[in-house]
């Protein structure tokens, strides 16, 4: 069993996916919502995983890494917030790097440097690859340079869950970092970048791609080892897949070999409570929000412009996977799912259980908190089945690494 530390755990999506493989033990999980008295996500996590590992409800910046080293973790996982990752010289002007205060990625790097896990598996919104708008790709470049400095190789892939058989069109970037002294890195050092991404790498086995070539050209470049230079001056165009080894980055746009998705209709509940049905007034409001529109607006400088947006399906088609679920799900806004109930033919929003199913959680996983928080937590969660596939890949890599080590010629001692 590989021992795991789970950061920014939410309601435990990473843990559910890894534990489904029967090959991981989460020995410590941290979830803390700053500036909030109610810790709903942590309470849900602690309740569902009661008696299994240590559950931490504290600011990650205050966690002493030495206490975690004693747990012998080999994997760190987490879905961390998307923030501004800019860096600067230390206050004394020396070489030390000072990350922007409160940016939680630096806490991941702090723990990675001190604990030295063999693997890290992280998740974020796909716009991370392009942020910030004024220096495209800077933030992700800082992350890659940080992992390189810490002695890790990195692979990444933007994955739309529905393209691999799941019920939600949720696009997220997944980042797999592996320590450079591992057999996985050593045995693949002569394999070309594109072959790694398409056939031999971490994501290739679990999320196959076609042989088609995208209209976006691959690119290769070397990252500076000076994080301040990267922060101040570097920009890059990152495609939906890539690899970084020894500071050399290769990125390519891959086309998924799509699997038949689970449809919204397949996850719908029966005998739904009347409170989820919409009034005539609410239906009209949703029709407007989801319909096409052109509105004249005035900017802060007094400039007039036309705001326009296209129409959305209303109600949602039940023969397709759901759209990306947001934390505002079930409120009166454009992004909420609105369906025609197959039994009653009346218009309603999704139930909390249906939202859990969209992410692959067990029914009523989030029960015990308010309904508003249940929707919020599912809007923040990930698709559990994706993590199960990635966990299986890590176990396959572990088996291959053990075999590679056992087959290495043993050095003979002359004494």
Give burial (CB, 10 Å; 0-12/13-18/19+) of 76: buried
Give burial (CB, 10 Å; 0-12/13-18/19+) of 153: buried
Give burial (CB, 10 Å; 0-12/13-18/19+) of 150: middle
Are 375 and 11 in contact, with CB atoms under 8 Å apart?
A: no
User: Active-site residue 44, yes or no?
Assistant: no
Catalytic-labelled residue, pool 44, 82, 355, 377: 82
- State the Cα–Cα distance between residues 134 and 88, nearest whole angstrom: 18
Q: In whole angstroms, what separates CA 392 from the centre of its chain? A: 17
- State the Cα–Cα distance between residues 193 and 195, nearest whole angstrom: 5
By annotation, the residues acting in catalysis are 82
């Amino acid at each position: 069993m590989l021992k795991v530390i789970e950061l920014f755990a939410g309601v435990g999506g990473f843990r559910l996916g890894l534990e489904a493989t029967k090959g991981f033990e989460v020995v410590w999980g941290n979830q803390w919502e700053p500036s909030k008295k109610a810790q709903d996500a942590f309470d849900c996590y602690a309740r569902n995983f009661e008696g299994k590992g240590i559950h931490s409800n504290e600011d990650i910046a205050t966690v002493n890494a030495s206490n975690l080293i004693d747990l012998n973790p080999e994997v760190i996982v987490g879905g961390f917030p998307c923030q501004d990752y800019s860096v600067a010289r230390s206050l004394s002007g020396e070489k030390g790097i000072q990350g922007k205060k409160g940016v939680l990625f630096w806490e991941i790097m702090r723990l990675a440097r001190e604990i030295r896990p063999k693997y890290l598996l992280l998740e974020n919104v796909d716009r991370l690859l392009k942020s910030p708008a004024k220096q495209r790709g800077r933030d992700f470049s800082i992350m890659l340079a940080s992992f390189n400095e810490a002695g890790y190789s990195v692979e990444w892939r933007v994955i739309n869950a529905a393209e691999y058989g799941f019920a939600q069109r949720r696009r997220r970037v997944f980042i797999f970092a592996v320590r450079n002294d591992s057999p996985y890195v050593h045995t693949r050092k002569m394999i070309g970048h594109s072959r790694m991404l398409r056939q031999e790498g971490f994501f290739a086995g679990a999320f196959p791609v076609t042989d088609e070539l995208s209209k976006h050209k691959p690119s290769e470049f070397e990252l500076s080892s000076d994080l301040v230079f990267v922060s101040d001056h570097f920009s890059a165009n990152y495609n939906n897949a890539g690899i970084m080894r020894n500071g050399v980055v290769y990125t390519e746009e891959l086309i998924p070999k799509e699997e038949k998705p689970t449809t919204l209709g397949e996850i719908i509940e029966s005998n739904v409570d009347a409170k989820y049905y919409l009034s005539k007034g609410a239906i009209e409001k949703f029709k407007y929000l989801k319909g096409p529109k052109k509105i004249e607006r005035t900017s802060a400088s007094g400039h007039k412009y036309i705001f326009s947006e296209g129409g959305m399906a209303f109600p949602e088609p039940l023969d397709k996977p759901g759209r990306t679920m947001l934390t505002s799900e079930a409120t009166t806004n454009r992004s909420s799912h609105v369906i025609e109930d197959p039994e009653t033919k009346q218009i309603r929003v999704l139930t909390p259980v249906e939202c859990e199913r969209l992410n692959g959680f067990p029914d009523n996983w989030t029960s015990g908190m308010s309904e508003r928080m249940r929707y919020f937590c599912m809007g923040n969660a990930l698709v559990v089945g994706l993590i199960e596939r990635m966990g299986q890949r890590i176990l396959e890599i572990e088996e291959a690494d053990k075999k590679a080590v056992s087959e290495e010629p043993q050095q003979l001692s002359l004494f």
